Amino acid sequence: MTTITKVSVWKIALESHVPYYMAGGKVCLSVPSIIVRIDTDAGICGWGEVCPIPHYLPAYADGVIPAISEMAEVLIGADPIGPEALMRKLDKHLIGHVYAKSAIDIALWDLTAKEAGLPLYRLLGGLQTEKLPLYKSITCSDPEKMADIAKEGYQKGIRQFQVKLGSDNDWRRDVERMEAVRAAVGTGPLVFGDWNCCASQLDAIRAGRALSSLDVMLEQPCATIESCNVVRQTTGLPMKLDESVHDIHSLLHGHQLGCMDAAALKLSKFGGISATRRARDLCLEIGTKMVIEDTWGSDITTSALMHLATSTDQGAIMNVCNLADYVSPKLSHESYFVSEGFASVTDAPGLGVSPDLSVLGEPLFVIS
């Protein structure tokens, strides 16, 4: 039996290529990411990552570190193969803290697939979506600048555009942003406006009604599913839920209300690949389109989300996000490739990532 012998943890700063502005004063400039490597007595290691955006969800990077230390007594000496068995033990040992468990779960899946000598997607459902459609997330700024970013993405083959809204708390300005991006990319591409929970129900309805003649989608305008449902039913515009769907129960609630045309399944929001795969399977059953992604991160979490999406029915995938494209440093170069608005993973065992240790530097701490 393979057993875990060591857990190493790094904390690195991921620098945004450009300031990334969202509603409610949120901005991504330099965001700490926690990198985890789990080693075994078989000489195989697995990599995981979690990178919470500050002030975004109930998660923060410095909370991962003591959580991993708390879980270490269960991890060391345990069998990592077949991650869900060990994750159940961790759930009993430390209730909640799903974002911290996400990095562990990803590393365990990487280990399991390497032990099998297979790319991870083969263990999660097989090859179902070889070419993953990417979306471009556009920082909230002047409408003209946002239109230019959309045009640049369109020229690179992107056909789905997330328009960040609400940075100035002016719904009329948000309407201008959506109109500018829609005009910039023409008819056909998917354009969806994201308030990240920070719009009032009234402002979201007024903006939605002003945009009702356009082919656009709204994303999580309000903090609650109930308010998003009112906006969905009042404006008639399709709705993507993100922050408010974080487990099976909230997904079912959104579906039952009829306001969840699409759902964002973020690995760290659900607690890793294991929990997100269960959410994926539910969405397949109820017919909800999926955005499979994570909050933020480098090549490790990007590879993980792409493997899960690759193993998902093509008709159910709305898009994925190449998170590592928005930040530096680059940690790994060989796990996936991007071409003409689509991404594909390689057939290397596990996640296919080999993080550059010269970039990571020395671990923050090691438990053995």
Residues in the chain: 368
Tell whether the torsion through CA atoms of 184, 185, 191 and 196 is positive or negative.
Answer: negative
Instruction: Report the candidate in 233, 241, 316, 304 with the shortest Cα–Cα distance to residue 274.
Output: 304
Q: Active site includes 266?
A: yes
- φ, ψ for residue 246 (rounded to 5)? -140, 0
Which residue's structure tokens are 């509603």? 23
Of 101, 114, 266, 269, the catalytic one is 266
In eight-state DSSP terms, residue 39 is E
Of 101, 114, 136, 164, the catalytic one is 164
Q: Active site includes 6?
A: no
* Residue 314, CA atoms < 13 Å, CB-side half-sphere: 9
Per-residue CA distances from 56 to 6, 23, 115 (Å) = 31, 10, 36
Instruction: Report the candidate in 252, 240, 199 with the shortest Cα–Cα distance to residue 216.
Output: 240
SS3 367: strand
Task: Answer yes or no: are the C-beta atoms of 90 and 14 closer than 8 Å.
Answer: no
Please give the positions annotated as active site. 164, 266
